Structure 1
Amino acid sequence: MTDLRFQTLTAEWAPECRRLELSVFEHANPDELIAEDDFRAYARVFPEGFFLCLDGERLVGQAGGIFLNFDFAHPQHTIVEITGENQCGNHDPDGEWYYGTDIAVSPDYRRQGIGRRFYELRKDLAKKHNRRGIIAGGHMPDFVNHKANMSAAEYVDRVASGELYDATLSFQLENGFAIRGVLENYIEDEATDGWSALIVWDNPEHST
């Protein structure tokens, strides 16, 4: 990763961010993905929470999020509901949690440590601002190979136990996240039938 650099989002990268978003999430409804104007909104509202990975002047990865409060007693939500207008309108500067709204790495640059570095940056941000931790709707791309034989809840349980491997969800577990359940109709995605895992990382340095 010596030639790669990381920075926070600026508005001029919005077109490239949209292109990367569409190329990575090819099975998702484009209308539910982050739009070009949404990326510009992120750059205004909370650029500190949105990270880019560049190879020279080429965008090869991005990871965004917002601060918010979360009700674990009523955890069900969709990505559209929880993020608000421009997918960042519900950002609360005083929110207790960093909610990961987006992470995308170009297929040509996977397995180079970019995703792991994004998670490190997110954790550092949560620690810097003394947030309780990180929450996200964890994508589970390999569920498509098992959904005919088991429910989403059974699938994530078997991934969590190590019985099954999921390219994204297993990686998140390796990075210290825990599964707190499944989210129905989280995002319109034909491969996963809209299912995602509710994943949480608790900040060990958080103080009240």
Structure 2
Amino acid sequence: MYNKEIRITGPDRQRKPVRAVIRTYAEADFDELIRIQAESFPPPYPEELLWNHEQLASHVAHYADGAICIEVDGELAGSMTSLRMQWNPAQPDNHSWTEVTDDGYIRNHQPDGNTLYIVDLCVRPKYRKWGLAQLMMQAMYQLVIHQGMDRLLGAGRMPGYHLVAEQMSAEQYLEQVVAGELHDPVISFLLRCGRMPVGVTAHYLDDEESCDYAALMEWRNPFIEVD
């Protein structure tokens, strides 16, 4: 069970540092975690894809180490969920979010999997630009190292793609974001976190802004030699 206290400052660097805690989430957090998701993913994001109590309970039951949240001065501000899976980088499959996460229930979690797969990451809008997502991502990197996995992997939404979808393919869009020629709110953030693209997956999520595409992006364990 993860529990780490740190001090952080918000976007206004003149403010005094405040107390933040990254910890495993529990049943008492479920209602607030659902509210955070609703705030973080407003329409046109499909409401049926927001967490429910049964999914959150399944996260804790199957892989509590990968179910974390962050508090700022006692208020829940965001969460991040993951599972372990076996993944062969030589044969990256074109999968959907529903397939790889067991429709968000993670009952397909493999305790000996070589890869930590990110199921979800969200931060309450009023805490954007506080660096909370990066802090939770770093906690997941630590989990990869601590449990001896090869990598962290996840499919990032490409919410800026719909603006240029008639002009280029999803692969070309990703290439231009990586090159710094275009900015994408999600993909550019993941690049800053040290994640690197390994491909594009189609029909990943019912997501109008991304035209249902997602960029598959990894972070490799620096202490393990990965082919």
- Could you state the TM-score of these two structures normalised by the residue count of structure 2? 0.86
User: In proportion to residue count, which structure has more helix?
Assistant: 1
Q: 1:84 aligns with which of 68, 82, 102?
A: 102
Shift of 1:36: 2.2
d(CA) in 1 for partners of 2:105, 2:172: 30
d(CA) in 1 for partners of 2:213, 2:103: 22
Do residues 150 (structure 1) and 168 (structure 2) align?
A: yes
d(CA) in 1 for partners of 2:219, 2:103: 25
State the percentage of identical aligned residues. Answer: 24
My pick for the range that moved more, 8-17 or 101-110, is 8-17
Do residues 3 (structure 1) and 19 (structure 2) align?
A: yes
Q: 1:55 aligns with which of 68, 72, 77?
A: 72
Partner of 1:95: 113
Gap regions ≥5 residues in structure 1: none
d(CA) in 1 for partners of 2:48, 2:125: 22
Q: Secondary structure at the match of 1:155?
A: helix
Partner of 2:13: none
Partner of 1:124: 142
d(CA) in 2 for partners of 1:64, 1:207: 26
- Could you state the TM-score of these two structures normalised by the residue count of structure 1? 0.93
Q: Could you say which structure has the larger radius of gyration?
A: 2
Shift of 1:55: 2.3
Do residues 137 (structure 1) and 155 (structure 2) align?
A: yes
Counterpart code for 2:96: T
Partner of 1:162: 180
CA contact (8 A) 1:181 1:198 kept: yes
CA contact (8 A) 2:95 2:201 kept: yes
Do residues 30 (structure 1) and 33 (structure 2) align?
A: no
Q: Secondary structure at the match of 1:46?
A: helix
Counterpart code for 1:29: P
Root mean square deviation of aligned Cα? 1.6
Q: State the Cα deviation string for residues 137-193 of structure 1 (Å, max 9, x = none).
A: 112222232223222111101001111111211111122111111111111112212
Q: State the Cα deviation string for residues 112-161 of structure 1 (Å, max 9, x = none).
A: 11011011100000000010010001122222322232221111010011
What is the aligned residue count?
208
